Chains A and B, each alone.
Chain A
Amino acid sequence: MADKKDRVLILLSALGTAGFFLLPLVEAKPNRIVSGEKLLALEYLGALGALIIMGWAMLMALSLYGTKRKDEYISIAAIITAVGLVVLLPIGGGSIQEIGANPRISFSSGFYIQVLFLYIILSTYLPRAGWRRRLKLLLGAGALLAMGSLIYMGYFERLSIIKEYGVRQRQFYNNLYIHGVLTFGSVLAGGLIAIPLGYLAYIKKRLEGRIMVPLSIIETIPSLSLFGILLVPLSGLGQLPFFRAIGVSGIGWAPAFVALTLYTLLPIGRNTLTGFHSIDKNVVQAAKGMGMSRGQILKRIELPLAFPVIFTGIRIAFIQTIGGAVLAGLVGGGGMGSFVFLGLAEASPDLILLGVIPIVFFTVILDYSLKAFEKYVRRVVYD
């Protein structure tokens, strides 16, 4: 206990504080078209800014004087600061009224910097705080619920991202739905193709290279080129009555779906092969020696034992696809990418955020729940 100073936290909280004082917190516009004015936190929040300052000061103090339950206090202080930032953001306080009757607020660098450092602090100290898993889950769920209801009640309506959302609500849910269908559909199709391929590579050693190498090559093709490659065959296919009826053509959902499916083949196929290879050969020998047929060995022994590893591949494919599906917006396939590319074209960061934030949100949720399921499966199968 010679040195109670926590140098890492000093640095992190100093940078966060600097972000508060020196960088613009928000950009405020009187309406959508006029370029806005960047406001420092103190200008924008006025006296309310003191709350955030107090949060950073607490963190700073904790970095200098460690107590017994330091990790816990740091986590609490960081959570309070973060909550304060989010809650105060739409209220403003200082010069906000001068901008106009219906100002549009968008995040600026000071906000991002503070969120970034709060995130680093939380991800460092929260695991050490020794809180129960259930408590953390409850906190997370509570935060989500609170955010959801605040958005629903119109608390954030001054934020321009919410304004964009309000204007495009129907489009938003439609795109979200398309994004989800594209993601699940591609991973499902990828699994149906790649798992048998991986198994084939496992039982026929000769074919391993012939199967795995093309999958790796596909993975290296940039998505834009892949769309280009798919354009011709898919528009050809679209001439046939059946495919025309389901809407296959060189642009739209079809190339996006095909490309995303192709990209899932490597993670799923590779993990399937690894999963089967990881099975103890003696176990298979024993199963064969007991009189199991090839099919029984696959069903009762190999598939259950390889499943956790295959499932890891499916999880990776999911995470990769949910982000990758943004590219569907590029070829008119819909999904959250529509907002992103529209935002890029209109130089509207809020529109981009409207597309990206839900993706990040669902990626985190999906990753978390799939990992939890994976852990459960591993426990059931291996212990």
Chain B
Amino acid sequence: MIEMQNVTKSYGDFKAVDNLSLHVDRGELLVILGPSGCGKSTTLRLMNKMAERSSGTIRIKEKEIDSFVEEDLRKGIGYVIQSIGLFPHMNVWKNIATVPQLLGWDESRIDGRVQELLLLVGLDPDKYKYKKPSQLSGGEAQRVGVARALASDPDILLMDEPFGAVDPINRLRLQKEFRQIQRRLQKTVVFVTHDIDEAILLGDRICIMNHGRVVSIDTPEKVVLHSEDDFVDSFFKGEGILTILSRKNLGDYMEEMPCEGEELEEDSTLKEALSLMLLTGKDRIPVRGGSISFNRILQVVGRDINEKA
């Protein structure tokens, strides 16, 4: 869906993006992770021409990026930025309707779409449709921002630290909800963040950047557990394994053996199961329709660890 080859973006002598190549497959969520100033946001902005590359080729949907009219390219790509940038003088409905209106959809189709999107991001349409951005909490505003980016049902979604300005509790909730949404919609997403947990939780693949270059790009398991790069290792400080467990749904690993006690939901994560085990001192805890054991978790981790990079 997105392909960058030997792309460089320089500001004077400074190379914000330095001879970078990567590709994003259809339906894949690629996280670009790195310290501030590593060029990750610039890389993202190159993909919808918010920044103009200095050299190299970029292909979007198999087409050379310069063959698009800039505005049309952007209308076909959802874009969410950290500060959201909701239009303060428009209510939620009008904010979400912006791109459909630019595309000339008729009113009833837009209304249906807004309804659908608000439900998707977990906001009651009747309650929120006519609110102004100033009446929304940070989390609500962020949901509206995501809904707005999805408005014209674009194949590609570019997200620049979308949950960065939200408090930690709401952030985790938004991340989990977004993961659910992404599982359903299967968009091609490029997601920029400097939050390691967020990257591991959400990414199908993680691209780690430093000084405008790709240091490592692979699945979270491989990047976290099998990196041979000192910079990548220093990034995770050995704690990545716990976050890896938060990627894994209980439903995928539970055993049928029944067990007494309060049940966890199927869509809880292995990390939550492990925490509960540590808290209760039990090595097997019930999940709706079965149970999961400490050994099973070790097995999963072991498989990831022993897998060849």
Chain A interface residues (CB < 8 Å from chain B):
280, 282-293, 296, 300-301, 304-305, 380-383
CB distance from B161 to the nearest CB of A (A): 12
A283 x B85 contact (CB < 8 A)? yes
Q: How long is the Cα–Cα vector from A292 to B72 in the complex, in angstroms? A: 9
A289 x B84 contact (CB < 8 A)? no
Q: How long is the Cα–Cα vector from A293 to B50 in the complex, in angstroms? A: 12
Which of B19-27, B73-81, B219-227, B283-291 lies on the face that meets chain A? B73-81
A291 x B102 contact (CB < 8 A)? yes
Q: How long is the Cα–Cα vector from A49 to B74 in the complex, in angstroms? A: 79
Q: How long is the Cα–Cα vector from A291 to B85 in the complex, in angstroms? A: 14
A305 x B88 contact (CB < 8 A)? yes
Q: How long is the Cα–Cα vector from A94 to B71 in the complex, in angstroms? A: 83
A381 x B102 contact (CB < 8 A)? no
B89 x A293 contact (CB < 8 A)? no
Q: Please provide the chain B residues from 224 to 245 with a CB less than 8 Å away from any CB of chain A in the complex.
A: none
Question: Is residue B98 contacting chain A, with contact meaning CB distance below 8 A?
Answer: yes
- With beta carbons under 8 angstroms apart, the residue of B75, B81, B102, B134 that contacts A282 is B81
A285 x B81 contact (CB < 8 A)? yes
B79 x A290 contact (CB < 8 A)? yes
Q: How long is the Cα–Cα vector from A289 to B76 in the complex, in angstroms? A: 10
A residues in contact with B76, CB < 8 Å: 291
Give the residue name and chain of the B residue nearest to A296 (CB): B102
B83 x A292 contact (CB < 8 A)? no
Give the residue name and chain of the B residue nearest to A382 (CB): B88
CB distance from A295 to the nearest CB of B (A): 10
B89 x A305 contact (CB < 8 A)? yes
Question: Is residue B132 contacting chain A, with contact meaning CB distance below 8 A?
Answer: yes
Question: Is residue B99 contacting chain A, with contact meaning CB distance below 8 A?
Answer: yes
CB distance from A306 to the nearest CB of B (A): 10
A289 x B88 contact (CB < 8 A)? no
Give the residue name and chain of the B residue nearest to A284 (CB): B85
Q: List 19 A-B contacts (CB under 8 A).
A: A280-B83, A280-B88, A283-B88, A284-B85, A285-B50, A285-B81, A287-B85, A287-B87, A288-B50, A289-B81, A290-B102, A290-B148, A291-B73, A291-B74, A291-B75, A293-B71, A296-B102, A305-B88, A382-B89
Known: A285-B81, A305-B88, A382-B89. Is A290-B98 also a contact (CB below 8 A)? yes
B81 x A291 contact (CB < 8 A)? no
Give the residue name and chain of the B residue nearest to A283 (CB): B85
Question: Is residue B48 contacting chain A, with contact meaning CB distance below 8 A?
Answer: yes
Q: Mark B60-94, 1 if CB is under 8 A from A, else 0.
A: 00000000000111111001010111111100000
CB distance from A220 to the nearest CB of B (A): 36
Known: A282-B81, A286-B81. Is A291-B99 also a contact (CB below 8 A)? yes
Q: Please provide the chain B residues from 93 to 112 with a CB less than 8 Å away from any CB of chain A in the complex.
A: 98-99, 102
A residues in contact with B132, CB < 8 Å: 383
Q: How long is the Cα–Cα vector from A285 to B50 in the complex, in angstroms? A: 8
Give the residue name and chain of the A residue nearest to B82 (CB): A282
Q: How long is the Cα–Cα vector from A287 to B98 in the complex, in angstroms? A: 9
A301 x B83 contact (CB < 8 A)? no
A residues in contact with B79, CB < 8 Å: 286, 289-290
A residues in contact with B102, CB < 8 Å: 290-292, 296
A290 x B75 contact (CB < 8 A)? yes
Q: Given known contacts A284-B85, A289-B85, what 11 new A-B pairs fall within 8 Å (CB)?
A: A280-B83, A283-B87, A285-B81, A286-B84, A287-B85, A290-B74, A290-B79, A290-B99, A291-B72, A291-B74, A301-B87
CB distance from B268 to the nearest CB of A (A): 35
Of A280, A291, A296, most buried by chain B (CB within 10 Å of CB) is A291
B71 x A285 contact (CB < 8 A)? no
CB distance from A366 to the nearest CB of B (A): 26
CB distance from B19 to the nearest CB of A (A): 25
A residues in contact with B148, CB < 8 Å: 290
Q: Please provide the chain B residues from 37 to 76 with a CB less than 8 Å away from any CB of chain A in the complex.
A: 48, 50, 71-76
Q: How long is the Cα–Cα vector from A381 to B133 in the complex, in angstroms? A: 11
B residues in contact with A289, CB < 8 Å: 48, 50, 74, 79, 81, 85
Q: How long is the Cα–Cα vector from A292 to B75 in the complex, in angstroms? A: 8
B50 x A282 contact (CB < 8 A)? no
B residues in contact with A296, CB < 8 Å: 102
Q: How long is the Cα–Cα vector from A284 to B83 in the complex, in angstroms? A: 11
CB distance from B146 to the nearest CB of A (A): 13
A381 x B89 contact (CB < 8 A)? yes
B residues in contact with A283, CB < 8 Å: 85-88
Of B48, B85, B102, B132, most buried by chain A (CB within 10 Å of CB) is B85
A residues in contact with B73, CB < 8 Å: 291
A residues in contact with B99, CB < 8 Å: 290-291
Q: How long is the Cα–Cα vector from A311 to B148 in the complex, in angstroms? A: 30
Q: How long is the Cα–Cα vector from A301 to B81 in the complex, in angstroms? A: 17
Known: A282-B83, A286-B81, A383-B134. Is A291-B71 also a contact (CB below 8 A)? yes
Q: How long is the Cα–Cα vector from A261 to B132 in the complex, in angstroms? A: 38
CB distance from B73 to the nearest CB of A (A): 7
A residues in contact with B72, CB < 8 Å: 291
Q: How long is the Cα–Cα vector from A115 to B238 in the complex, in angstroms? A: 81
Q: How long is the Cα–Cα vector from A197 to B45 in the complex, in angstroms? A: 31
Q: How long is the Cα–Cα vector from A296 to B86 in the complex, in angstroms? A: 16
B residues in contact with A287, CB < 8 Å: 85, 87, 98
Known: A282-B81, A291-B73, A291-B99. Is A304-B50 also a contact (CB below 8 A)? no
